[in-house]
Amino acid sequence: MSTLESTAPLLLALDFGGTKHAAALLKAGEKQWLAHRRTLSPPGANAQTDLEVMRSLIHELLQDAQPTAIGVSFGGPVDASTGGVRLSHHVPGWENIPLASLLSKEFGAAASVDNDANVAALGEYRFGAGQGYDSLMYITISTGVGGGWILNGYPWRGAEGMAGEIGHTVIDPNGPLCLCGKRGCLERLTSGPYMAQQVRETLQHSPDRGQGIRDLVGNDLEAVTAQIISQAATQGDELARETLETAGWALGVGIGNTANLINPQRFVLGGGVTKAGEHFWEPVHRVARETALPEVNFEVVPAALGDEAPLWGAVALASDLVARS
Amino acid sequence: MSTLESTAPLLLALDFGGTKHAAALLKAGEKQWLAHRRTLSPPGANAQTDLEVMRSLIHELLQDAQPTAIGVSFGGPVDASTGGVRLSHHVPGWENIPLASLLSKEFGAAASVDNDANVAALGEYRFGAGQGYDSLMYITISTGVGGGWILNGYPWRGAEGMAGEIGHTVIDPNGPLCLCGKRGCLERLTSGPYMAQQVRETLQHSPDRGQGIRDLVGNDLEAVTAQIISQAATQGDELARETLETAGWALGVGIGNTANLINPQRFVLGGGVTKAGEHFWEPVHRVARETALPEVNFEVVPAALGDEAPLWGAVALASDLVARS
Q: What per-residue confidence (pLDDT) applies to B2?
A: 44
* List of chain A residues whose C-beta atoms are within 8 Å of the C-beta of residue B293: 162, 165, 168, 180
Do B145 and B264 sit in the same domain of this protein? yes
Q: Tens of pLDDT along B151-169?
A: 999 999 999 999 999 999 9
Which of A92-101, B3-12, B166-175 is least confident? B3-12
CATH number for the domain that contains residue A29 = 3.30.420.40
Does the CB of B201 have a partner CB in chain A at under 8 Å?
A: no
Q: Tens of pLDDT along B182-234?
A: 999 999 999 999 999 999 999 999 999 999 999 999 999 999 999 999 999 99
Which residues of B, range 31-70, sit inside 8 Å of A by Cβ?
Answer: none
Q: With bands split at pLDDT 50, 70 and 90, how would you rate the model's confidence at B43?
A: confident
- Check A163 against B290: CB less than 8 A apart: no
- Check B163 against A261: CB less than 8 A apart: yes
Do A66 and A144 sit in the same domain of this protein? no
For this complex, say whether ipTM is above 0.90.
yes
Pairing of strands B69-74, B110-115: parallel
Within-domain flag for A34 = yes
In B, minimum Cα distance to A137 occurs at: B261
Distance of CA B201 to CAs A22, B177, B233, B247, Å?
61, 14, 17, 16
- Check B165 against A265: CB less than 8 A apart: no
Kindly state the average pLDDT of the residues B140-156.
95
Q: What per-residue confidence (pLDDT) applies to A134?
A: 98
| Residue B7 pLDDT exceeds 90 | no
| Residue B301 pLDDT exceeds 80 | yes
Do A165 and A291 sit in the same domain of this protein? yes
> How open is the CA angle A172-A176-A178, to the nearest 5 degrees?
95
Average pLDDT, chain B: 95
**In B236-268, which positions are buried (b, 16+ CB within 10 angstroms) versus exposed (e)?**
ebebbbbbbbbbbbbbbbbbbbbbbbbbbbbbb
Q: What per-residue confidence (pLDDT) applies to B126?
A: 97
Whether A123 contacts A312, CB under 8 Å: yes
Does the CB of B217 have a partner CB in chain A at under 8 Å?
A: no
Do B156 and B233 sit in the same domain of this protein? yes
Do B94 and B143 sit in the same domain of this protein? no
C-alpha A149/C-alpha A163 separation (Å) is: 8
Q: What per-residue confidence (pLDDT) applies to B251?
A: 98
> In terms of residue numbers, what domain contains B190?
132-303
C-alpha B310/C-alpha B17 separation (Å) is: 9
Q: What per-residue confidence (pLDDT) applies to A6?
A: 62
B150/chain A closest Cα distance in angstroms: 11
Average pLDDT, chain A: 95
- Check A261 against B169: CB less than 8 A apart: yes
Q: What is the pLDDT along chain A (325 residues), one digit of tens a residue?
A: 445 556 789 999 999 987 899 999 999 999 999 999 999 988 899 999 999 999 999 999 999 899 999 999 999 889 999 999 999 988 999 999 999 999 999 999 999 999 999 999 999 999 999 999 999 999 999 989 999 999 999 999 999 999 999 999 999 999 999 999 999 999 999 999 999 999 999 999 999 999 999 999 999 999 999 999 999 999 999 999 999 999 999 999 999 999 999 999 999 999 999 999 999 999 999 999 999 999 999 999 999 999 899 999 999 999 999 998 7
Among A149, A173, A261, whose Cβ lies nearest the Cβ of B258? A261
Q: What per-residue confidence (pLDDT) applies to B324?
A: 83
Q: What per-residue confidence (pLDDT) applies to A2?
A: 44
C-alpha B49/C-alpha B90 separation (Å) is: 13
C-alpha B145/C-alpha A13 separation (Å) is: 45
- Check A265 against B159: CB less than 8 A apart: yes
Do B77 and B36 sit in the same domain of this protein? yes
Q: What per-residue confidence (pLDDT) applies to A1?
A: 43
C-alpha A180/C-alpha B283 separation (Å) is: 20
> Rounded to the nearest 10 degrees, how much is the dihedral formed by the CA atoms of B177, B181, B183, B188?
-60
Among A152, A260, A289, which would you mutate to test the B interface (most chain B Cβ atoms within 10 Å of its Cβ)? A260
How many residues are given for chain B?
325
C-alpha B208/C-alpha A209 separation (Å) is: 47
In B, minimum Cα distance to A287 occurs at: B182
Do A139 and A93 sit in the same domain of this protein? no
B192/chain A closest Cα distance in angstroms: 21
- Check B174 against A174: CB less than 8 A apart: yes
Whether B28 contacts B41, CB under 8 Å: no
Whether A30 contacts A70, CB under 8 Å: no
Among B115, B169, B296, which would you mutate to test the A interface (most chain A Cβ atoms within 10 Å of its Cβ)? B169
- Count the domains in chain B: 2
Within-domain flag for A283 = yes
Within-domain flag for A122 = no
Helix (H) or strand (E) holding A195: helix A192-205
- Exposure of A234 in the CB half-sphere (CA atoms within 13 A): 12
Q: Report how many Cβ contacts below 8 Å link chain A to chain B.
A: 120
Whose CA is closest to B151, among B170, B171, B172, B136? B136
Kindly state the average pLDDT of the residues B319-325.
90
Do A194 and A257 sit in the same domain of this protein? yes
Which residues of A, range 288-317, sit inside 8 Å of B by Cβ?
Answer: 290-291, 293, 295-298
Which residues of A, range 87-106, sit inside 8 Å of B by Cβ?
Answer: none
Specify the 3-state DSSP secondary structure of B79. Answer: strand
Q: What per-residue confidence (pLDDT) applies to A18?
A: 77
B35 Cβ partners below 8 Å, 6+ apart?
Answer: B1, B24, B25, B60, B61
* List of chain B residues whose C-beta atoms are within 8 Å of the C-beta of residue A263: 157-163, 165
Whether B233 contacts B277, CB under 8 Å: yes
Q: What is the pTM of this model?
A: 0.94
B130/chain A closest Cα distance in angstroms: 14
Distance of CA A53 to CAs A102, A117, A162, A225, A255, Å?
15, 22, 28, 29, 37
Q: With bands split at pLDDT 50, 70 and 90, how would you rate the model's confidence at B19?
A: confident
C-alpha A137/C-alpha A269 separation (Å) is: 8
Within-domain flag for A124 = no
> For A219-324, where are the E strands, in sequence order?
266-270, 299-302
Residue type, B150: I
- Check B172 against A174: CB less than 8 A apart: yes
Within-domain flag for A7 = yes
* List of chain A residues whose C-beta atoms are within 8 Å of the C-beta of residue B157: 263
Among A159, A165, A295, whose Cβ lies nearest the Cβ of B135? A159
Whether A12 contacts A69, CB under 8 Å: yes
Whose CA is closest to B261, among A264, A302, A262? A262
Kindly state the average pLDDT of the residues B69-89.
94
The β-bridge partners of A2 are: none
Do B298 and B164 sit in the same domain of this protein? yes
Do A298 and A315 sit in the same domain of this protein? no
C-alpha B248/C-alpha B274 separation (Å) is: 10
Does the CB of A246 have a partner CB in chain B at under 8 Å?
A: no
Do B37 and B163 sit in the same domain of this protein? no
- Check B262 against A168: CB less than 8 A apart: no
Do B188 and B272 sit in the same domain of this protein? yes
- Check A163 against B261: CB less than 8 A apart: yes
| Residue B86 pLDDT exceeds 50 | yes
Among B162, B163, B257, whose Cβ lies nearest the Cβ of A169? B257
Residues B253, B254, B255, B261, CA torsion sign = positive
Q: Tens of pLDDT along A220-232?
A: 999 999 999 999 9
C-alpha A53/C-alpha A125 separation (Å) is: 29
